[in-house]
Amino acid sequence: MWELKEYRIAGSIGEAVAMMRRGPGKGVYIAGGTDLFLFPPACDYVVDINHVGMSNIARTPDGDLFIGAAATLHDIATCPLVTGFAGGLVSAAAAHCGNRPVRTTATIGGNLCNALPSADLAPALLALDAVCYIADEDSQESLPLEEFFTGPRRTVLDGRLLVGIALSAASGGWRAAARRLTRSAEDIALVQVAVALEIDGDRVGAARIALGSVAPVPMRAMLAEALVEGELIANLDPDRLADAAAIAAGECEPIDDHRASAEYRREMVGVLTRRLLASVLAGSTDTSPGTDNEGGAA
């Protein structure tokens, strides 16, 4: 039983932040609540943000994709605006999270604000240059998603509210693919890799390689990206891709735990990065969950 003193229901974004700041004691925002009820944090009150108008998914006139922080994983997995964006990279990540009843209430904001190193949506969003919109009582701020996470279960928020995530229209046309290694489909990921490439004629424009479960926070392998970005596709032979994959494996900072060793995780970052780069360059947008541990046979 979660010993809460008060359940506050906010009617607007401003009211939600005010309710959070008001005290007394410690408060937590709640949307779907599927993570909070697993490990109820010690706090005095929660602020329900289900009724503040943050569950929308929309394309702006400029073609950017905006996903409200209270949009559910089921909505994100099935909304045509998301399934049709960058090969459906984000919707596939949402579809592989938890099970159907969890996805009914679990939200993208909760997945990000819970800030686990294995957050299911983080690699896909990082690979598409996601920008976070954050509200305070009377101001708003936006910042790149890679600056949002400050450590395991820690973010920059400090009482402020994540309002939503925006992906630029340009990234909607990127080719992308992702893999998520797990022991069983529902388990927390051992290793996550998402790759997105802007294909500009015979050349790669932007290149993004995002990793999850292999560092204190979801991260980008920027040194590896630099080896691919701006290159002629003809120059990206298997040796070059293997080099990039090895660099990505060097960039991550995995730990040993009961799910996998750091050594295995690092090895798999290399294997998956190499395969995903190759498959994206070949035009495939495979976002299958990868629950078969086939990486071990590489």
Partner 1 sequence: MKIVVKLNGRNREWEAAPGATLLSVLRDGPQEPRMTSVKRGCETGDCGACTVLLDGQPVNSCVVAAARAHGHAVTTIEGLAGDPLMTALQAALVEHAAVQCGYCSPGMLVSLYHLLKECRAAGTTPGDHAIREALSGNLCRCTGYVKPVAAATAVAATLAAVGRAEAGAR
> CB of 46 within 8 A of CB of 27?
yes
For residues 182 and 279, give the distance between their C-alpha atoms in angstroms, rounded to a whole number: 20
Span of 92-100, 146-154, 276-284, 286-294 interacting with partner 1 by CB under 8 A = 92-100
Is residue 185 within the footprint of partner 1 (CB under 8 A)?
A: yes
Is residue 98 within the footprint of partner 1 (CB under 8 A)?
A: yes
Which of 205/289 has CB closer to partner 1? 289
Residue 207: enclosing H or E segment and its boundaries?
strand 203-212
Is residue 290 within the footprint of partner 1 (CB under 8 A)?
A: no
The SS3 call for residue 177 is strand
For residues 222 and 179, give the distance between their C-alpha atoms in angstroms, rounded to a whole number: 18
Q: Which of 12, 56, 99, 293 binds partner 1 (CB under 8 A)?
A: 99
For residues 76 and 95, give the distance between their C-alpha atoms in angstroms, rounded to a whole number: 8
Quote the least distance from Cβ 49 to partner 1, whole Å. 11
Is residue 29 within the footprint of partner 1 (CB under 8 A)?
A: no
Span of 26-34, 206-214, 221-229, 284-292 interacting with partner 1 by CB under 8 A = 26-34
Span of 19-27, 28-36, 116-124, 162-170 interacting with partner 1 by CB under 8 A = 28-36
Helix-helix angle 238-251:262-281, to 10 degrees? 140
For residues 123 and 46, give the distance between their C-alpha atoms in angstroms, rounded to a whole number: 28
Which of 110/117 has CB closer to partner 1? 110
What sections of the chain are H helices per DSSP?
Answer: 13-22, 73-78, 80-83, 89-95, 100-105, 108-113, 122-127, 222-228, 238-251, 262-281
Is residue 42 within the footprint of partner 1 (CB under 8 A)?
A: no
Span of 44-52, 54-62, 139-147, 149-157 interacting with partner 1 by CB under 8 A = 44-52
Is residue 104 within the footprint of partner 1 (CB under 8 A)?
A: yes
> CB of 207 within 8 A of CB of 228?
yes
Q: Which of 17, 29, 33, 209 binds partner 1 (CB under 8 A)?
A: 33
Beta bridge partners of 178: 194
Unique residue bearing structure tokens 């005095």: 44
- Pattern 56-75, partner 1, x by CB under 8 A: ------------------x-
Is residue 289 within the footprint of partner 1 (CB under 8 A)?
A: no
Which of 101/144 has CB closer to partner 1? 101
What letter would DSSP give residue 232? Answer: B
Quote the least distance from Cβ 27 to partner 1, whole Å. 12
Q: Which two tokens stand for residue 109?
A: 């904001």
Is residue 28 within the footprint of partner 1 (CB under 8 A)?
A: no
Q: HSE-up of 225 (CA within 13 Å, CB side)?
A: 20
Q: Which of 16, 48, 191, 198 binds partner 1 (CB under 8 A)?
A: 48
Write out the residues near partner 1 by the rule CB under 8 A: 1-7, 9, 30, 32-34, 37-38, 40, 45-46, 48, 50, 74, 98-102, 104-105, 185-186
